[in-house]
Amino acid sequence: MALTFTEFQALVDEGFNTIALTETLQLDRDTPVSIYQRFDDGRAFCLLESAALGDDTGRYSFIGLDRQWRLHSLGDDVRLEGRDDAPRADGAMATLRSLLATYRTHAPADLPSFFGGAVGFVTYDYVRQLEDLPRDDDPHPWPDVDFSFPGSVLICDHLRHSTTVVVLATVAEGGSPRDAYDVATAHLESIVATLLAPAPQTDPDVERMVATAPTQRARIDVRAIASRLSNFTLEQYRDVVVRAREYIFAGDIFQVVPSQQFTRPTTVTPLNLYRVLRALNPSPYMYLVDTGDSQIVGASPEMLVRVENREVTTRPIAGTRPRGANEERDRELEAEILGDDKEIAEHVMLVDLGRNDVGRVSVPGTVRVQRLAHVERFSHLMHLVSQVSGRLRDGLDAFDAFDALFPAGTLSGAPKVRAMQIIDEFEPVRRGPYGGALGYFSLRGDADFAITIRTVALRDATATVQAGGGIVADSQPDFEYQECISKASAPLLALEIVDPLASGPLQKT
């Protein structure tokens, strides 16, 4: 139930300047996608979901509406659109931290971790601000950091089949609480009216495309498409693997994660792409974020970092097999990966790296491995997954935890800095979103970020997909090339279904 003005004024008198007004509706016939479509007129700019149903991770989906401001940066050039009174700090992430600190927020205690805050992404190249790595020139760079603040958030609760509308009423310094309350209340009523109105007309062709997407795997030769679009030939990638092994044998590194980039022109509609990718590759992290000049659409299996109630968690993924054609074959492949000494050794090494990263910001003695090397199945692949957590030290916050974990060792290598220097040597273009992170910093001080993999980056009528694999001493070049192709297959297949290449889809024979 929304607050009365008397209750609102009392909270302002207590010192709160941002107060969440809420209303919960039972919308059991709607989905997060159908709700997003109601606001897909420029108001909705992010959709965050999870296929990990059955626990709190997958209980909620979030839709961000009504962008209040956007902060984006490239190197030392930090730009803030939509707020003139904002504090400035040294660098984009420090400025973002200062911005969020200006919100003294009150919200119902039963709301989930995210009901408001900064939503966006950090590209891999942000690491150049954290470590001694060159800031090489790029004629068309992605921003290092790109976050937006929604004035309203829709929280879809899959357990209760309800949707909670959250509108943040912010009282400016010296501003009128009555005006802030009236504007927010009217806005809340407008959103509720949109949710209760008849659903917008859908396109039958789009609905058919989404419904039949999983059946297209048998028709489209996505490996041939990937080979055609990659910025490496098989021979070139073989050379990368050979050179990586030379660095390993010389003692420079234990592992490095080079990648291939797949680029193609596109006129795809981001929401249609999201829906097809969601159908093909349901994952723990599914997202559509629209900055206005670019879009990120993805289905990532891997958490970079979560901070909730000052508990820091990361979930390294390393070790891959394709899914089998049936349950019996899946079990055979699970046994194979669990019995593969190379895969287990590589995984344990990256778990140790995760323990070290979590330990940098945790209370001594609180870091623990909660799960070690268990197999999780996804739509196309199965992976070895572990979970590491620790208790955040006093005086540190979610931003410190993010910097300690970024970038993931599973996307760089070990030791991290030397591995990233070698990646710069191997890869002909900057990574951009790939290998970075996407998620939120909440007004409660929590955070949740996926590693940006299994993702399509859209900008300037171009779609980019990227995938890599960890190279260790006994890696085989042809296998590593094909593993990259496998990891890129779901987003490339989604692109081909929604927006076939001009030359036509490559059919399997």
pLDDT at residue 277, as a whole number: 97
Q: Is the pLDDT of residue 114 over 80?
A: yes
Q: Is the pLDDT of residue 300 over 90?
A: yes
Is residue 176 one of the residues assigned to a domain? yes
DSSP annotation string for 44-78 = EEEEEE-S-TTSHHHHEEEEEEEEEEEEEEETTEE
Q: Which whole number is the average pLDDT over 128-138?
A: 78
Q: In the annotation, is 454 catalytic?
A: yes
pLDDT at residue 508, as a whole number: 56
415 prior amide bond cis, ω within 30: yes
The per-residue pLDDT of the chain, averaged, comes to 92
Q: In the annotation, is 75 catalytic?
A: no
Q: In the annotation, is 215 catalytic?
A: no
What percent of the chain is predicted at pLDDT more than 70?
96
Give the whole-angstrom CA distance, residue 489 versus residue 181: 49
Q: Which of 164, 410, 452, 455 is catalytic?
A: 410
Which of 407, 491, 420 lies closest to 451, judged by CA? 407
Q: Is the pLDDT of residue 53 over 50?
A: no
Confidence class for position 103, pLDDT limits 50, 70, 90: very high
Q: Which of 355, 383, 431, 444 is catalytic?
A: 383
Give the whole-angstrom CA distance, residue 372 versus residue 413: 19
Is residue 390 one of the residues assigned to a domain? no
Q: Is the pLDDT of residue 224 over 80?
A: yes
Q: Is the pLDDT of residue 52 over 80?
A: no
Q: Which of 247, 285, 434, 440 is catalytic?
A: 434
Q: What are phi and psi of 71, to 5 degrees?
A: -115, 125
Is residue 180 one of the residues assigned to a domain? yes
Range scoring the smallest mean pLDDT among 43-47, 94-98, 451-455, 498-502: 498-502
Contact 450, 285 (CB under 8 A): yes
Tokens at 306, concatenated: 């979560």
Three-state SS letters, 86-113:
CCCCCCHHHHHHHHHHCCCEECCCCCCC
Is residue 142 one of the residues assigned to a domain? yes
Confidence class for position 359, pLDDT limits 50, 70, 90: very high
Q: Which whole number is the average pLDDT over 325-352?
A: 89
Q: Is the pLDDT of residue 503 over 50?
A: no
Range scoring the smallest mean pLDDT among 117-121, 150-154, 409-413: 409-413
pLDDT at residue 136, as a whole number: 64
> Domain total for the chain?
1
Q: Which whole number is the average pLDDT over 462-487?
A: 94
Is residue 166 one of the residues assigned to a domain? yes
Q: What angle do CA 274, 376, 57 make, to 5 degrees?
A: 60
Give the whole-angstrom CA distance, residue 455 versus residue 408: 16
Within 8 A by CB and 6+ apart from 165, the residues are 22, 23, 24, 25, 152, 154, 188, 191, 192, 195
CATH number of the domain at 132, please: 3.60.120.10
Confidence class for position 134, pLDDT limits 50, 70, 90: confident
Residue 110 lies in domain: 5-201
pLDDT at residue 345, as a whole number: 85
Q: Which region, left, alpha or beta, applies to residue 457 given φ > 0 means left and ψ of -120 to 50 means alpha?
A: beta
Is residue 168 one of the residues assigned to a domain? yes
Q: In the annotation, is 24 catalytic?
A: no
Is residue 317 one of the residues assigned to a domain? no
Task: Tell me if residue 268 falls in helix, strand or coil.
Answer: coil
Is residue 271 one of the residues assigned to a domain? no
Contact 399, 109 (CB under 8 A): no
pLDDT at residue 289, as a whole number: 98
Give the whole-angstrom CA distance, residue 428 versus residue 287: 28
Range scoring the smallest mean pLDDT among 53-62, 168-177, 260-269, 499-508: 499-508
**How confident is the model over 235-275, as pLDDT tens digits?**
999 999 999 999 999 999 999 999 999 999 999 999 999 99
Q: Which whole number is the average pLDDT over 437-454?
A: 98
Q: In the annotation, is 36 catalytic?
A: no
Contact 294, 459 (CB under 8 A): yes
Task: Tell me if residue 226 falls in helix, strand or coil.
Answer: helix
pLDDT at residue 342, as a whole number: 81
* pTM exceeding 0.75: yes
Contact 56, 29 (CB under 8 A): no
Confidence class for position 502, pLDDT limits 50, 70, 90: low
Q: Which amino acid is at 198?
A: P
What separation in angstroms does the CA of 233 have from each of 229, 240, 242, 484, 493?
Answer: 10, 11, 14, 12, 20
